Each structure stands twice: as C-alpha cells, then as structure tokens.
C-alpha cells in the first residue's frame, strides 16, 4: 500500500520495573492501522492489551514504565514524546473510552462540564456554544432528554448511559483515532450490544481509526476489520477478521474461540476453559509462552520461540510451530493425545480443565 497509514506501530515494548524484575507487558508488537478501519485487539486478562493501547497513546502514567520501539501517527514519532507534547494530541487527535463507566466520570462534576471542558479549552469556544455542542453530542449517542441530562451528575445515570457519555466525551473534539479499552466489559449484556453498535456507527460516520480492545472474540467478530490476538505481551496471530474466523492457525486463538458459549450448542454443554494460567510476565516460559497450556505443544515449542510469519502476499500472520489446521498441527495434537498431555485431553473434551492443571513438562 502506498498511501500513508494513520498509525504505524513497530516493535513496541512497554516494560514495568518492579522489585522482582521487569514485567514485559508489551513485548515487541507491530501493526498498522488506516483511517476508517478498526483493529480488534483480543486476549485474556494480563495479555498486555490494555497496556498496548495506553502505550500507543502515550498514556502510561506509571513512573516505573518504559516504552521503546516506534509509534508513528500521521508521520509523527510519538515514542519519546513528553506528556506535555502528547497532551496536544490527547482529546483532539486521539481519544480513549475506558473500561468502567462507573469510575471514569468524576462524581462531583456535572456531566455537561465533563463532556465539554476539553472542547472549550482545545477549540476555544464559548460556554453557550459548548453547551449546544454538548447537548448535540448527547443526542448523537442517543441519550434521551439530552438538554436535561447535560446538567445532572454522573450518579444520576445508569451504567450504559454513563458509557454513552464517555463515548460522547471522547468524540467531543472529533479525534482521528479512538481507543476503546474493553468498553462493554462492565456493562449488562443487553447494553453491551447497543454500546458496541454505537461505537461502530460513530467510527464509520466519522471515518475514525479505532482500536477496540477486548477479551471477547465475539465482540470484535462483526466489528473489526482486522484482529490481533495477544498473548503474554506479544501478538501471536493477526489477520483480517473474516480470514481469522475462517481459518485460525494459532492454538490460543482457537482456545479463545472455544471458550465463548454458543447458542447453537446443546444445553448443558461444558464450556471449554483454557487450561492453566496466563504466564508470568517477569519470567515468561522459554520458547513459545503459550506452550505450557497448549494442546499442540511439542518439545520444540519449549526450546524455540516461533516468530510471527505470514505467507507471501498474505495478510494472515501467526507465530506457531504446529499451526491449527496444518498437518504439523494435527500430528502434534495426535501425539500429545496419545501421550496423555493434560491440556490436550482437555481440548479433546476427555477431561475437565482446571487452573492448576499440571502439564507433563513441569518437573
């Protein structure tokens, strides 16, 4: 592609220094994102997806964190910029919708002011203009009685309503890029759908680039153009959404998909949990970090870290020695089943997964 990407992220790393060592929350992530497109970042808790979105935006408030690599936004390198310089981008160019609408709004400040204060500062508009804009924003996120809601406090609104306010707040200065960090995790299932659709509509109408962070493959399924699956701070599989769901190659992606309940399943079908726990990010397992939990893992997975590769002219990349759906993968799975590797037995539905499932490789 010759056109300039809105966002080019290369080998981004964010490490937190703690007493026990360096927590490698984001460990060499690369991707590009164009205007009007949505990238879904998927992974379980602790996979580094939230830190990834904050690192791209430069919103890492912890003083013990260090971000290296490169984030080029509209031709500007953001890594290494001071918070003072970044502030000019926040709100106006990049905005974020946070996970928990119950705590993301200041309880002692009226909704209207929170919605428009940055508009007044960044775009230098009068109080009356800001109010008109604020009410218009509330309407655009489909809050009824927008004019009255402008003057209420956050606690007078429901969770779904508050998340709408947060979205309106993020959109207030018409940013080019929107980060949505688990925007529906704290909400009722019925509200989740509405909020996601709202985000999608706004993203399309405003032709924004969006990074949608979630632990739920189902959330990004119909909404992202491309999906990046993260594990232990690394992208382990990345593909256009359709391609990914048609033929996923990484065992972790498959495990994530299997852990979503489906309405087509017969009643009382056991959900397939992923065996074991997310890895220690200070001392990640050698080789492939998913190997201790992977039903396809063979000894080589423990010794050699697979690199993220893609076929020629292919936009589907994955990091695995025994990809799902390949002869190598099938062979590995069968061998493991024969040897009775616990996580393989779980994957095959022979035993029930538990967090403390011992793996054959643990001494």
**15 φ/ψ angles, rounded to the nearest 5 degrees:** -115, 140
88 binds another protein (CB under 8 A): yes
Q: Which of 75, 107, 266, 327 binds another protein (CB under 8 A)?
A: 107
C-beta of 42 vs 169, nearer to another protein: 169
Shortest Cβ distance from residue 61 to another protein (Å)?
7
* 96 binds another protein, rule: CB under 8 A: yes
106 binds another protein (CB under 8 A): yes
Q: How far is the CB of 165 from another protein (least distance, A)?
A: 11
By CB under 8 A, the count of residues binding another protein is 31
The nearer residue to another protein, 22 or 117, going by C-beta atoms, is 117
Q: Which is nearer to another protein, 118 or 249 (CB)?
A: 118
* 62 near another protein (CB under 8 A): no
Which one, 85 or 339, has the nearer CB to another protein?
85
Binding part of the chain for another protein, among 100-108, 140-148, 223-231, 282-290 by CB under 8 A, reads: 100-108
Nearer of residues 155 and 242 to another protein, judged by Cβ: 155
Q: What is the 3-state secondary structure (H, E, C) of the chain?
A: CCCCCCEEEEEEEEEEEECCEEEEEEEEEEEEECCCCEEEEECCCCCCHHHHHHHHHCCCCCCCEEEEEEEEECCEECCCCCHHHHCCCECCCEEEECCCCCCCCCCCCCHHHHHHHHHHHHHCCCHHHHHHHHHHHHHHCCCCCHHHHCCCCHHHCCHHHHHHHHHHHHHCCCCCEEEEECCCCCCCHHHHHHHHHHHHHHHHHHCCEEEEEECCHHHHHCCCCEEEEEECCEEEEEEEHHHHHHCCCCHHHHHHHHCCCCCCCCCCCCCCCCCCCCCCCCCCCCCCCCHHHCCCCCHHHHHCCCCCEECCCCCCEECCCCCCCCHHHHHHHHHHHHHCCHHHHHHCCCCCCCCCCCCCCCC
Q: Which residues, 122 to 151, sit near another protein by CB under 8 A?
A: 122
Contact 49, 41 (CB under 8 A): yes
Between residues 39 and 95, which has the closer beta carbon with respect to another protein? 95
Q: Of 52 and 235, which has the nearer Cβ to another protein?
A: 52
Q: Does 178 bind another protein (CB under 8 A)?
A: no
List the one residue from 18, 109, 260, 348 that touches another protein (CB under 8 A).
109
Instruction: Find the helix packing angle between 127-140 and 111-123, rounded to 10°.
Output: 120
Which of residues 22, 44, 100, 280 is near another protein by CB under 8 A? 100
Identify the residue among 7, 79, 137, 166 touching another protein (CB under 8 A): 166
- Shortest approach of another protein to residue 111 CB, angstroms? 11
Distance CA 349, CA 243 (A): 26
Q: How far is the CB of 99 from another protein (least distance, A)?
A: 8
Residue 74 as a binder of another protein (CB under 8 A): the answer is no
The reply on whether position 313 binds another protein by CB under 8 A is no
Residues found near another protein in the complex (CB under 8 A): 57, 59, 61, 87-92, 95-96, 98, 100, 103-109, 117-118, 121-122, 153, 155, 166, 169-170, 172-173
């Amino acid at each position: 592609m010759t056109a300039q990407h809105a966002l080019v992220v290369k080998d981004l790393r964010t490490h937190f220094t703690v007493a026990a060592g360096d927590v490698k929350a984001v460990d060499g992530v690369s991707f590009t994102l164009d205007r009007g497109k949505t990238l879904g970042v998927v992974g379980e808790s602790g996979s580094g997806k939230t830190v990834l979105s904050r690192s791209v935006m430069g919103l890492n408030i912890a003083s013990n964190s260090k971000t290296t690599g490169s984030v080029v936004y509209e031709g500007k390198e953001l890594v290494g910029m001071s918070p003072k310089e970044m502030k000019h981008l926040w709100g106006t160019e990049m905005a974020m919708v946070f996970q928990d609408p119950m705590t993301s709004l200041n309880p002692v400040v009226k909704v209207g002011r929170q919605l428009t204060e940055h508009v007044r500062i960044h775009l230098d508009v009068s109080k009356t203009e800001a109010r008109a804009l604020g009410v218009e924003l509330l309407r655009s996120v489909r809050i009824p009685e927008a004019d009255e809601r402008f003057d209420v406090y956050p606690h007078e609104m429901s969770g779904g309503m508050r998340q709408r306010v947060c979205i309106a707040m993020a959109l207030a200065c018409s940013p080019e890029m929107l980060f949505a960090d688990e925007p529906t995790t704290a909400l009722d299932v019925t509200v989740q759908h509405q909020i996601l659709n709202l985000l999608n509509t706004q993203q399309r109408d405003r032709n924004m680039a969006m990074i949608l962070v979630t632990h739920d493959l189902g959330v990004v399924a119909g909404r992202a153009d491309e999906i990046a699956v993260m594990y232990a701070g690394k992208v382990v599989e990345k593909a256009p959404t359709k391609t990914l769901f048609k033929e996923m190659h990484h065992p972790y992606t498959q495990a994530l998909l299997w852990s979503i309940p489906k309405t087509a399943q017969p009643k009382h079908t056991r959900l397939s949990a992923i065996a074991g726990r997310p890895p220690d990010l200070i001392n990640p397992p050698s080789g492939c970090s998913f190997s201790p939990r992977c039903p396809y893992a063979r000894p080589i997975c423990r010794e050699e870290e697979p690199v993220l590769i893609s076929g020629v002219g292919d936009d589907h990349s994955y990091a695995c020695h025994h990809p799902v759906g390949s002869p190598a993968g099938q062979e590995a799975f069968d061998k493991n089943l024969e040897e009775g590797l616990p996580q393989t037995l779980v994957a095959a539905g022979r035993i029930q997964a538990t967090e403390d499932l011992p793996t054959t490789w643990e001494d």
